[in-house]
């Protein structure tokens, strides 16, 4: 029998085990290690348009990307000029991507780069538009991936350092995977643009290695260290999870997923196990032990499940997985070692969920596309969540981001800072 242990009591241990998040550092999609975990910040649990807003700024256009935080600033991407939800279609010639540098304490715009698109672009992007990839930043630069328009690096004053081409193919779902940082490399899942996984030199943009055969993959790769000390770069393609040496691009292992759909949710890992969600029917989740060689399906695949999500990414915390189904609005908790469902509960008046889960301040945050954030205690017994509504007649596709003791939420129209 599963005891309803409240996981808040384990936060102190987990801060030690994972390492506390550095102050004002959430520099890639889903933060340190791509896990969606912040075990330090005291993020707020209650807000509205009239309560607990530190600031709110209008954006120059929509975007499905999430903010990142580097020191005292926020970086965010948007697009304008073409295929704006609720507006006339516009023309491809008017399409611009925008990279914003924002002062974190008051929301003031420090600089904005307006980037001309490489044409022709896709005539129509379903659901999430032309600014879906979250930027990445280090002490030298901020990096942004813009599909067939390539990858840009800017220094923190807004000066362009380099621009790299990673392919020119387009897709009706657009481009969505976000860049990640590893040593001196910037790693790009260019599945849409060139069926490739590509590593670029962070200082020059020069291609250092590339792997072909990356099919039907919209998830952002993760990098982990095995119990034996080996670094592994892991991502999901249609039908498989693949692991590579991030220094060279050499394939280390593969595992069959039995998921027949394209792969969107980013994976998470804990204690040498990778957890993967995806698909709309049949197998929709699995767990795989890392550290293998070759095809590890028979030896390292621990379990599969028909419960999952086709868009939103999960969190894993002290042996339990938490996620929300992107269409049904059902919140799940499952045992990480077996996949057994602990709870399966529909959230009240929930719509669609494209953003990824965040675990912070002992709570799990699920942001719906209509602007409602459901805040649930990170525990093994479901409790009716607090519901915080920021509906602004637009779409919320980006994931919530902690910033010290605040929370950043972006819609197609605004960036909100909640105190």
Domains parsed from the chain with CATH numbers: 1-57+313-419 (2.40.128.630), 65-175+177-215 (2.40.128.630), 220-303 (2.40.10.480)
**pLDDT beyond 60 at 323:** yes
Q: Which of the four pLDDT bands, split at 50, 70 and 90, describes residue 126?
A: confident
Q: Which of the four pLDDT bands, split at 50, 70 and 90, describes residue 24?
A: low
Torsions phi, psi of 397, nearest 5?
-110, -25
**Sheet containing 136-137: order of strands:** 136-137, 142-145, 151-154, 160-164
Distance spanning both ends of the chain, measured CA to CA: 39
Tell me how far apart the alpha carbons of residues 375 and 39 are, in angstroms, rounded to a whole number: 16
The pLDDT assigned to 8 comes to 43
Q: Where do the DSSP E strands lie in 307-367?
A: 315-317, 320-324, 330-335, 341-346, 358-360, 363-367
The pLDDT assigned to 85 comes to 80
List the one residue out of 240, 248, 245 whose CA is nearest residue 226: 245
Q: Which of the four pLDDT bands, split at 50, 70 and 90, describes residue 20?
A: very low
Tokens (6 digits) for 135: 């930027």
Q: For the segment 210-224, what is each residue's pLDDT rounded down to a tens digit?
A: 999 999 999 999 999
* DSSP SS3 for 93: helix
Tell me how far apart the alpha carbons of residues 129 and 369 are, in angstroms, rounded to a whole number: 14
State the maximum Cα–Cα separation within the chain, in Å, rounded to a whole number: 61
Percent of the chain with pLDDT over 90: 89
Cα dist. 2→306, 315, 380 in Å? 21, 20, 8
| Helix locations, 99-209, DSSP H | 191-194
The pLDDT assigned to 190 comes to 98
Q: What's the average model confidence in pLDDT over 384-396?
A: 96
Q: Which of the four pLDDT bands, split at 50, 70 and 90, describes residue 1?
A: very low
Residues 6 or more apart whose Cβ sits within 8 Å of residue 78: 59, 60, 61, 62, 63, 97, 98, 100, 131
Tell me how far apart the alpha carbons of residues 323 and 356 are, in angstroms, rounded to a whole number: 8
Q: Where do the DSSP E strands lie in 155-267?
A: 160-164, 180-182, 185-190, 196-201, 207-212, 222-225, 231-237, 240-244, 251-256
Q: Which of the four pLDDT bands, split at 50, 70 and 90, describes residue 139?
A: very high
Adjacent-strand bridge partners of 303: 287
* Cβ neighbours, 10 Å, residue 16: 10
Q: Which of the four pLDDT bands, split at 50, 70 and 90, describes residue 88?
A: confident
The pLDDT assigned to 12 comes to 38
Work out the burial of residue 155: count CB atoms within 10 Å of its CB; fewer than 13 is exposed, 13-18 middle, 19 or more buried. exposed
Tokens (6 digits) for 25: 């550092």
Q: What is the signed CA dihedral for 202, 203, 206, 212, rounded to 10 degrees?
A: 0
The pLDDT assigned to 358 comes to 98
Q: What's the average model confidence in pLDDT over 108-127?
A: 92
Q: Which of the four pLDDT bands, split at 50, 70 and 90, describes residue 234?
A: very high
Tell me how far apart the alpha carbons of residues 410 and 398 are, in angstroms, rounded to a whole number: 6
Q: Where do the DSSP E strands lie in 29-146?
A: 37-38, 53-58, 68-70, 73-80, 96-103, 109-116, 136-137, 142-145
């Amino acid at each position: 029998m599963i005891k309803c242990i409240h996981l808040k009591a384990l936060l102190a241990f987990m801060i030690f085990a994972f390492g506390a998040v550095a102050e004002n550092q959430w520099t890639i999609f889903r933060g340190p290690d791509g896990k969606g975990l912040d075990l330090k910040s005291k993020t707020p649990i209650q807000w509205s348009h009239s309560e607990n807003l530190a600031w709110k700024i209008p954006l120059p256009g929509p975007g499905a990307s999430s903010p990142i935080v580097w020191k005292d600033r926020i970086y965010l991407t948007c697009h304008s000029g073409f295929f704006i939800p609720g507006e006339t279609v516009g023309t491809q010639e008017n399409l611009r991507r925008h990279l914003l540098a924002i002062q974190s304490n008051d929301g003031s715009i420090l600089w904005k780069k307006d980037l001309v698109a490489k044409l022709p672009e896709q005539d129509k992007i379903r659901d999430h538009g032309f600014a879906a990839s979250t930027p990445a930043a280090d002490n030298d630069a901020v990096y942004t991936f813009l599909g067939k328009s390539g990858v840009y690096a800017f220094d923190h004053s807004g000066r362009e350092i380099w621009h790299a081409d990673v392919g020119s193919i387009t897709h009706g779902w657009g481009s969505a995977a976000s860049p990640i940082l590893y040593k001196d490399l910037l790693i790009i899942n260019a599945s849409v643009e060139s069926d490739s996984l590509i590593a670029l030199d962070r200082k020059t943009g020069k291609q250092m290695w590339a792997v072909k055969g990356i099919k039907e993959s919209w998830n952002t790769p993760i990098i982990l260290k095995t119990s034996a000390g080996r670094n592994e770069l892991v991502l999901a393609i249609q039908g498989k999870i693949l692991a590579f040496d991030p220094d060279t691009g050499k394939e280390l292992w593969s595992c069959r997923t039995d998921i027949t759909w394209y792969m969107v949710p980013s994976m998470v890992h804990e204690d040498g196990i990778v957890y993967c969600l995806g698909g709309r029917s049949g197998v929709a989740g699995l767990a795989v032990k890392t550290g293998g060689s070759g095809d590890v399906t028979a030896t390292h695949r621990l379990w599969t499940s028909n419960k999952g999500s086709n868009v939103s990414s999960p969190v894993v915390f002290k042996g339990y997985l938490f996620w929300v189904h992107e269409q049904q609005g059902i919140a799940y908790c499952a045992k990480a070692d077996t996949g057994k469902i602990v709870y399966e509960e529909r959230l009240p008046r929930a719509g669609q969920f494209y953003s990824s889960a965040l675990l912070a301040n002992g709570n799990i945050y699920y942001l719906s596309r209509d602007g409602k954030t459901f805040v649930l205690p990170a525990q093994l017994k479901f409790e009716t969540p607090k519901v915080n509504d920021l509906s602004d007649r637009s779409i919320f596709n980006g994931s919530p981001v902690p910033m010290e003791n605040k929370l950043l939420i972006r819609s197609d129209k605004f960036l909100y800072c909640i105190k």
